[in-house]
Every structure is written in C-alpha cells, then in structure tokens.
C-alpha cells in the first residue's frame, strides 16, 4: 500500500504534543480507536509491532481512517520496516538504533524516529543523518535531567521522550527546548479499549492540547 503523502520525522513530532504508543490485540478496535484519537486532535498514531495483529491493525487504519497518519513502532529489522510499509505505515519508530534499520526505513520511504539512550547512540544516529530521535526508555535512562545534560553537546538534536512518560510528568519534558513531543500509552488505556469507551480516548486526546508550550 503506497501513499502520496510523505512526512519527515520532525513533522510527525510537531503535529501534537503526544504521539500515542498503541498496543492492539484486536483488529476490531483499530479503526474506532484511530477515529477517537483523530476526533481529539491526535492523528500521528504509533501502532507497536508487539502483537500478531499489529500489521493488520495498521492496514485497517491506513485504509479506513485517511485523516490519521499511522506509523509502526518497535521496528527492529529490515523485515519489520518492509512489513510496516507494505501495511500502509507512513513513519517508523525503533526502540534502539542500527544503521541497518536506518537504511531499511529510507529504502522503503518511511520517516524514522530512532530510539537512543546514550550519547554514543545519538552520535551513531547523527552520523547516518538522523537529528530527530526518540529518547527511550526516558525515565529509566535519566529523565528530564539527562535531556538537559544533552542540550549542550547535542544542541542540534530534537527528542521525543518515551517510556515512563505520563500526563503528570509530560509538562516537565515538554518545557525543555530540545523536546518537541513525548510518546505515551496513557491516551489509549487497555480498559477503555476493551470496553469500547471511545469517548474517553477522545477526551484523553483533547486533554493533551493543554500540554503544548
């Protein structure tokens, strides 16, 4: 499945204060969940490749919710990147970074938000031309204090902290000049998904607007 609309990693990050990190176990939930998030003003949707249904969910969202921009998370290999692109993903997010994954995403036309947790990983990603990065796992790897420390040597890098980020601590991250957005799973609670409480998911998405600096 191809698309004429391409996005850079920075455009993906700038669209809303939060990129929802979504784990889907049932294809039936994919489309109503995506519509609920879009109704709340969140359209960049990271569906993680952590379940057997993930690719089918990405395909359903890409086909039936054109106002959403669906991406694949947990991209760890060339095969993941190819499968994500084939399913209709328009961006990719990886938990770490390798040059092979970076090149694979370029080859299939996916904007990549690579995961980093150390200065060395940032330098590796920068060597390959990536300057918009996912800081993961954010809280476990040093939280806002680490991002403040990186703002000196890596003044030209922008981050999306993910991992342990919540509605409560998101403002602290978003107040940092080198943070464009955060990634979080709180927009799509498992119980709301199981109950089909799409109105709650829309409200959680609407609540993120108050987080923008």
Read off the pLDDT of residues 111-135 as tens digits, 9 standing for 90 and up: 999 999 999 999 999 999 999 999 9
Q: Which of 28, 46, 64, 172 is catalytic?
A: 46
pLDDT at 163 over 60: yes
* Portion of the chain with pLDDT greater than 70, in percent: 97
Alpha helices, DSSP H, located in the chain: 9-14, 27-39, 54-64, 78-87, 99-108, 119-127, 143-150, 170-174, 190-195, 198-207
Average pLDDT, the chain: 96
The pairing of strands 115-116 and 132-135 is: parallel
Per-residue pLDDT, averaged over 1-25, amounts to 85
- Residue 52's pLDDT is 98
pLDDT at site 4: 43
User: Residue 7 in contact with residue 69, Cβ under 8 Å?
Assistant: yes
Domains detected in the chain: 9-211 (3.20.20.70)
pTM of the model: 0.95
Q: Which of 59, 121, 127, 134 is catalytic?
A: 134
Give the angle 6-201-57 at the CA atoms, nearest 5°: 50
121 annotated active-site: no
Q: Are 180 and 13 in contact (CB under 8 A)?
A: yes
In this prediction, residue 3 carries a pLDDT of 41
Averaged over 170-184, what is the pLDDT? 97
* Annotation says 148 is catalytic: no
Percent of the chain with pLDDT over 90: 94
């Amino acid at each position: 499945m191809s698309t004429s609309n391409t996005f850079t990693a920075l455009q993906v990050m700038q669209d809303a204060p939060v990129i929802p990190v979504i784990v889907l176990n049932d294809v039936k939930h994919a489309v109503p969940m995506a519509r609920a998030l879009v109704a709340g003003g969140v359209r960049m949707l990271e569906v993680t490749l952590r379940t057997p249904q993930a690719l089918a969910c990405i395909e359903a969202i890409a086909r039936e919710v054109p106002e959403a921009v669906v991406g694949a998370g947990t991209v760890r290999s060339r095969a993941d990147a190819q499968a994500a692109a084939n399913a209709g993903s328009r961006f990719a997010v990886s938990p770490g970074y390798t040059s092979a994954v970076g090149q694979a995403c370029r080859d299939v036309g996916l904007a990549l938000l690579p995961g980093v947790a150390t200065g060395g990983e940032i330098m590796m990603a920068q060597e390959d031309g990536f300057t918009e990065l996912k800081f993961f796992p954010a809280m476990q790897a040093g939280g806002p204090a680490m991002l403040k420390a990186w703002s000196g040597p890596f003044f030209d890098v922008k981050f999306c902290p993910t991992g342990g980020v919540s509605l409560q601590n998101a403002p602290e991250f978003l107040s940092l000049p080198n943070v464009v957005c955060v990634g979080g799973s709180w927009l799509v609670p498992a119980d709301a998904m199981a109950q089909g409480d799409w109105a709650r998911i829309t409200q959680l998405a609407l609540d993120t607007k108050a987080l923008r600096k």
